[in-house]
Amino acid sequence: MAPKDQFKDKVSFYLNSLDELGEVLINKEGSSGLTKGVLRIILGTMMASKGSVLGVKRTRCNILSSHGVSLPPNALRLKAEQKKALAGFKNSNLNRSQIKKIFDPKSSDSIAVYFSDLNASILVPLFHKDNLLGIVTLGKKFDGSSYKSLDKKILEIICNHLTDSLYNQELIENIKDKRMELRLKVLELQTLFDISLSLNSVLDIEELSSEVLIRSVSTLNASSGFILKTQKNSPILSVLSSFNVDEDQLKSAIFSKSSLPFKSVWKDKKSIIVSGDKSRSFLNKTNYKECIISPIVGNRNISGCIVLGDKESREGVVPFENNDINILEALSSQAGIAMDNAQLFEDINAAKRFNESIMGSIATSVITMNLLGEIDSVNKAGVELLGKKPNEIIGEHYSYLFSKDKGLCAAIESAELELESFSELSVPLLSKSRNTIVNFSVAPLTDQKGDHLGAVVAIEDITEQSKIKNTFKRYVSKSVVDQLLDDDQKLNLGGEERDVTVLFSDIRGFTAMSEKMTPKEVVRTLNSYFSEMIDIIFKYDGTLDKIVGDELMVVFGAPISRDDDAERAVKTAVGMVEALRKFNEKREKQNKVPINAGIGINKGKVISGNIGSKDQMDYTVIGDTVNLGARLCSFAGPLKIIISQSVKDEIGDLYKTRKLDAIKVKGKRKPVEIFKVLT
């Protein structure tokens, strides 16, 4: 047969296989039946002797279908690095050498041994997006020939269909699981409802005891009765409820579990019939001819007892029978369970009230949600943060409540899927407003057994802190702000004496220059100039103390001191001069008058703190050191930097300087030694 005809026959054979594949994918239900049918088609189409389809869930591999290879003795596990390596072959296949490289047959790895036994010649990972659903592996062909490109292409087509089907099966199984969970939940609720009905839906202990007593009296045809309960750290039994008895006589009587007839009831935890002369004392207390006593036994101990007196009939009072004991024990047993539940309910309510009180006092918003993503609780801070009523929050799905906050929704989803905690800092809570800045954390919610219950979201409103931080950044560099916020002990805004280095910068002749400019030009020029200078100041962590007209006052050493305060001040001054020269080059090209500033730097002791009135205060520094710094600035010529002796002593030979003639300064008896920094 001609090669062309052979190719046509082969294509026709492949197309028939794909038709059969369609029938299998449509008719087969369940992963096992589906993969068996698909593997049969693959083996027949590829003429392969062995093959296997593995299902992958995280690191565990399940053999969905196999042919020609024995089942492994141990469970198959897929390592993280193997899974990562397979990700490089999405929509592709691996040959024998590539398979051996990832799954080393010489290792003791169970899956590598399995593929070695299979004599794997071609492997196709089944990826749905980034999720590895399975692995299809084939051994050699029957005739020993290698897999051709057309074989690989057809195999990939079949595997793509198999991947989609497995994904759909997984979705169907998830839906079935969810449906089963819902059914079990409904059944559980129905059972709880039935139990609740059998116990008269009463969770108040006193109300419950009255209901139990009335049911007991009517069932046993007793004339009257009462229920006694134990007291903590006392043998005396108190009356919990009574029916048709002399209340005054009952209150005057004393009943003790350590005396007859109750002693035997507490000892044996069994019901007794009280009659005859031996019990005359007790019968006289109650005016009964005969009575029956049944212990109320809870999960642990006897919590009390039911006392019924004088069984009535048409013929009058008749003795109690053993059958009465059985009936009363059944009722008292129900009463024990009901009272335990009522006590538990009371304890839970007390704990809930306690927790709600704690949650209500927490400033951080706390929101919990169930497995379905529905909000089931929110504390007071959360209600205030979201600006909604509790009934507008409870029951809503988190994706609706935080519809604008994609990052928060993604963190909740990740916490539920990966059972890990996620958090983010300083992000806007868009569901409230763009200006609301929060820190949030999301953690999976589990019970004492570790079973997943949902998720808990904690949201801390840091809007005010963010405003303070952003405002503070206008005066100091970001790194200084971060240091202050990380350690507020570094920030002392009260009055204190400290060593600082002050830098003054003033534009020479700006008053005369501004007279030739419009107000808008003056403001625009100053803003451009200050932008250039302040960038340099913040680069070296200087604190911008104030701007007065065209003058800048910068402090190094307050509110945070460093050993290199003086060095950074000089570096700032040099940087400002260099930046100003470039700034003036641009202005000259625009036919604008250059700006020339002089800079003075001094170091010494100052008083720092919040200074001003009760209505308006500024953090600043004052003192002779500041005044001398200003004088040095006024003495400095255009683009010149004048420093004091104290600054020169600190910087040493870091910069070349030239000593100038000492200057006389108002308030100083001796002339002040000064130096010019050479730039």
237 and 312 in a single domain? The answer is yes
Q: What pLDDT, on a 0 to 100 scale, did the predictor assign at position 437? A: 86
264 and 159 in a single domain? The answer is no
In a domain, 468, yes or no: no
Q: What pLDDT, on a 0 to 100 scale, did the predictor assign at position 559? A: 81
Q: What CATH number is given to the structural domain containing 538?
A: 3.30.70.1230
51 and 91 in a single domain? The answer is yes
73 and 214 in a single domain? The answer is no
162 and 245 in a single domain? The answer is no
Residue 658 has pLDDT above 70, yes or no: yes
pLDDT tens for 197-211 read 555 455 667 777 888
Q: Which domain holds residue 209?
A: 205-345
Give the C-alpha distances (Å, rounded to integers) separating 272 from 215, 262, 268. 19, 9, 10
314 and 211 in a single domain? The answer is yes
- Domains in the chain, number: 4
pLDDT tens for 88-132 read 998 889 999 999 999 998 888 889 999 999 999 999 999 998 899
In a domain, 424, yes or no: yes
Token pair of 613, please?
């009135």
The strand ranges marked E within 322-462 are 365-370, 375-378, 422-428, 437-446, 452-461
Q: What CATH number is given to the structural domain containing 320?
A: 3.30.450.40
135 and 258 in a single domain? The answer is no
Q: What pLDDT, on a 0 to 100 scale, did the predictor assign at position 479? A: 54
In a domain, 5, yes or no: no
When pLDDT is cut at 50, 70 and 90, the band that residue 373 belongs to is: confident
What's the count of helices (H) and strands (E) in the chain, helices before strands?
22, 26
The strand ranges marked E within 291-359 are 291-297, 302-313, 316-318
**pTM: predicted TM-score of the whole model, two decimal places:** 0.40
Residue 195 CA to residue 340 CA, distance in Å, equals 13
Which residue, of 144, 170, 196, is where some domain finishes?
Answer: 170
pLDDT tens for 128-177 read 988 999 999 999 998 888 898 888 888 888 888 888 888 888 888 888 87
Task: Please answer whether residues 395 and 388 qualify as being in contact, where contact means their C-beta atoms are separated by less than 8 angstroms.
Answer: no
Residue 270 has pLDDT above 50, yes or no: yes
Give the C-alpha distances (Å, rounded to integers) separating 536 from 476, 558, 571, 629. 11, 17, 9, 19
Q: What pLDDT, on a 0 to 100 scale, did the predictor assign at position 184? A: 47
pLDDT tens for 426-466 read 888 888 888 888 888 888 888 878 788 888 888 888 776 66
Q: What CATH number is given to the structural domain containing 421?
A: 3.30.450.20
Residue 275 has pLDDT above 70, yes or no: yes
533 and 580 in a single domain? The answer is yes
AA identity, residue 476: V
pLDDT tens for 23-75 read 655 555 555 677 888 888 888 888 898 999 999 988 899 998 899 888 887 78
In a domain, 545, yes or no: yes
